[in-house]
Structure 1
Amino acid sequence: MLSAALALSACGGEQRSLLLTASEKQGDAVGKLRIFVATTREAADLPQYFNGERGPKLAFAKLDITVPRAHKTGELELPDIGAAADPAKHFAVVDVNRLDLPPIVAEVKREIQRRPASERDVLVFVHGYNTNFADAAYRFAQIIYDSGFKGVPVLFTWPSRGQLLQYPYDRESAFYSRDFLEANLHAISRDLGTTRIDILAHSMGTLLTLEAVRQAAIRGDGSFGGKLRDIILAAPDVDLDVFRTQMRQIKRPVTVFVSADDRALAFSRRFAGDKTRLGAISAKDTEIVAELGKLGARIIDLSEISTDDRLNHAKFASSPKIVQLIGRRLDADRGIAIAGPRFGDKLGDIAGGVVGAVGSTVELVVTAPGALIAR
């Protein structure tokens, strides 16, 4: 398992950075996205901007990233590390600005106010373990574009060193960042004029997210002024026992994407005392699913979905149907609420199973993998 993971993941050496692409080449791209950044990372020299060490306070930035004309939904087209991006073929960074607090607040306010009232929502993305700043930014750009999200995207990036064997450091960095994420969510809900906040968290970022929301709930404002709507946990690297205790304090619904064939979570389980990770359960774990449903967890099983992700850890972003589904549900007034086959006209919206809590009962809808292809 360790040798396979080392072969499939970055384990040191040169890391991806945000090399700027000349502005005159932007015409080769199909579109441009603006992402706002809040981070607990330490500032670094260009083109890294922020490294994997822990900063003493929140820092901020904004990024402009173009989407290549050759882009295919669910794919993240990037140049080789250290090579210049071709905007016709790759996601490309065309502008990066590190900002202090007053300028970033003013910028985000302008972005929100220039949108119609129905689109004044903020999507906060919290990345996972083994992810540097550049990789987090590129992945979020792909998710924004493929999901069709129309609001304002905010990347909360925490001090992951982006190295496979730095799992213990990354985990402690997630805990280090929970107060900062909580404060950032309060600021977004209170100071920016947003209508609502959705959170999409991946892998170890789900632990950070759950801890921040749990703290806020204990302090008496787990809804962040009534603005927090969806919490979506993708491939959560969270101990099942810990998740149960968190949900008893959070006391609100969360949506969880799981996959029994997640190889990254099988690897992280070795660092976690051989305890089952939340993201590695499936619809077959009926007793666990029923128990978690009573706590407010709505489970979506992606075990039967195949993607080009060899670790099966990023299916939520690399499956075209799933990332588009997330976008459709974020765009809907009721969010990504799951209750039986209500994603669309056909159960084929998700292959492999949907588990949704309906009151005190649990519904399980199992669909054939071929149904996804047939749509």
Structure 2
Amino acid sequence: MTEMMANADAPHSILTFVCSTRQEGHGGDEMRPDGPAYSLQILSVPPDHHPGQIERPAFGAPDPQHHIMVVSTHEMSEDDFRNQLATNISGRIGSNRDVLLYVHGFNTSLDAARFRLAQIVTDGRFGGIPVLFTWPATNSIFDYEAAREAATASRDSLANLLKDLSEVPDIGRIHILAHSMGTWLTMEALRQRAIAGSPSLNGKLGLVMLAAPDIDLSVFRSQLSELDASHFSVLISADDRALSLSQTLAGDRPRVGALDPRKRADRLALARLGVKVYDLSGKSDGLIDHDAYADLPDVVRSIGAQIGRQRIQDQDVTAVLGQRPVDTQVTAAPLPSAGASAIPAGGNAPTDGKSASPQAGSTPAPPSAVPAAPAASVQ
């Protein structure tokens, strides 16, 4: 009993694979001139961690009992990276063979990216292997265009990482969580793999979650045309002030993540995409509301429950957040445990031809908990 209590009071270690196009020694703001760097890092989460929080010291050195921190970093070659992944996956069963690839967004430091991943893995109770792709996102909100160029320059490296992951022996599903400008980078890399003949990553592509996607709506349609939309979930918020600024910088072009399902035109545009859409508007107390996907503990738990749920013979590649739509109209349904609205695509069936059932143990919120968007036929 004493030993169990001691373990409960110990920091939780998370083995994390990292692929980076950031130039070391330059604040992470410049591209590496000789291709991406690979490393194996151990991150530590404190025993008193609070869901939705990234515990960091106000000043001084971090304390592993109270702060998320980096314990160690081991640099390696790309070959070693692949071999270590294969070694860590070998012997695992079920969803523990899965990978969660996290691609951060604009104005995100290396520390912020890896600590966010550690928080998501912990809050979502993910039992597979976390992988971080980090790129020169700059550390200033005034360098938006520079970050966009860095994201463009990082596309090949991310596409190559996806290829490497898909070829790891015994790997399960490759789930992807991307945020903000990182969603554009992710879609471009997936599109490249599709053009190269592997849109499903050798049949390994799992759930692709795009949180607050900073992507022009017409661009997203074009990217998605090369891919199977049934794998994709989009988390949006009409309250996202960061995306409002992005839309202004982009010549007032609508961003996917800031579409408002309460507006009929936006609701129809979202439905025609064929993806699962979850509205987090009004669910966050934050001023900017750009990180609601990770700041809301119930949302992260719902994500973790879906990507980590048991599969019969590992054949369920159409796992989605919440319930699969079965009708041809735009409706609203709560995200399990989160109270966010889901706007399903009209009439899209899963690729395996089976009806998806609600997650075991989840209880849908009553209709009054989330104002339903008026139903509208999709033409």
Report the TM-score when normalising by structure 2: 0.82
Q: Which of 319, 332, 340 in structure 2 is aligned with 1:335?
A: 319
Shift of 1:163: 1.4
Partner of 2:47: 69
Report matched runs for 1:36-75 at 5 Å. Answer: 36-44=17-25, 51-55=28-32, 56-75=34-53
* CA-to-aligned-CA distance 1:245-304 (integer Å, 9 cap, x gap): 212222432100000101111122222111111111132133333333333221100002
Aligned positions of 1:123-272 closer than 5 A: 123-253=100-230, 254-272=232-250
SS of 2:242's equivalent?
A: helix
TM-superposed CA distance for 1:346, in Å, is: 7.8
1:33 aligns with 2:10: no
1:121 and 1:352 map into 2 onto residues whose CA distance is 26
CA root-mean-square deviation: 2.5
Instruction: Report whether the alignment pairs 1:274 with 2:258.
Output: no
More helix by share: 1
Whether contact under 8 Å (1:29, 1:66) holds in the other structure is no
Query: CA 1:356/1:27 → structure 2, altered by over 3 Å: closer, same or farther?
Result: closer
**Alpha-carbon contact 1:338-1:356 (below 8 Å) kept:** no
> Structure 2 unaligned runs (5+)?
1-6, 312-317, 327-332, 350-365, 372-379
* C-alpha contact (below 8 Å) 1:340/1:354 kept by paired residues: no
Rounded to whole Å, the distance in 2 between the matches of 1:347 and 1:201 is 19
Residue identity opposite 1:216 in structure 2: R
Residue 310 (structure 1) aligned with residue 299 (structure 2) = no
Shift of 1:216: 1.7
User: What is the deviation of 1:220?
Assistant: 2.0
1: distance between equivalents of 2:367 and 2:75? Answer: 47
**Runs of 4+ that moved beyond 6 A:** 345-348
Question: Residue 320 of structure 2 aligns to which amino acid in structure 1?
Answer: I
Q: Which amino acid aligns with 1:175?
A: T
Q: Which amino acid aligns with 1:335?
A: A
Q: Residues of 2 paired with 1:116 and 1:186: CA distance?
A: 22
AA in 1 matched with 2:68: F
Give distance in 2, aligned partners of 1:258 and 1:277. 10
Structure 1 stretch displaced more, 246-255 or 70-79: 246-255
Does structure 2 conserve the Cα–Cα contact (< 8 Å) formed by 1:122 and 1:152? Answer: yes
SS in 2 for 1:94: strand
Higher strand fraction: Structure 1 or Structure 2? 1
* Equivalent-residue separation in structure 2 for 1:347 and 1:267 (angstroms): 27
**CA 1:348–1:33 in 2, change beyond 3 Å: closer, same or farther?**
closer
Greater mean alpha carbon deviation, residues 99-108 or residues 165-174:
99-108
Deviation at 1:115, TM superposition (A): 2.2
d(CA) in 1 for partners of 2:12 and 2:51?
A: 14
The CA distance in 2 between the partners of 1:117 and 1:351, in whole Å, is 29
Among 289, 294, 300, the alignment partner of 2:267 is 289
- Aligned partner of residue 216 in structure 1, secondary structure: helix
CA offsets per residue over residues 5-42 of structure 1, 9 Å max, x none? xxxxxxxxxxxxxxxxxxxxx99643111110011112
| Aligned-partner residue type, residue 123 of structure 2 | D
One-letter amino acid matched to 1:322: V
Unaligned runs of 5+ in 1: 1-25, 371-375
Give per-residue Cα distances to partners, 1:298-318, cap 9 Å, x unaligned: 1100002124x3310111111
Q: Partner letter of residue 132 of structure 1?
A: S
User: Aligned-pair distance for 1:98?
Assistant: 1.7
In the superposition, relative to structure 1, how do residues 348 and 206 fare at CA in structure 2: closer, same or farther (>3 Å)? closer
Q: Are 2:85 and 1:108 equivalent residues in the alignment?
A: yes
Partner of 1:373: none
Cα distance, 1:347–1:28 mapped onto 2, change above 3 Å: closer
User: CA offset at residue 94 of structure 1?
Assistant: 1.1
Distance in 1 (CA, whole Å) between partners of 2:78 and 2:199 is: 24
1:92 alignment partner AA? M
- The code of the aligned residue for 1:171 comes to R
Tell me the distance in 1 between the aligned counterparts of 2:198 and 2:107. Answer: 31
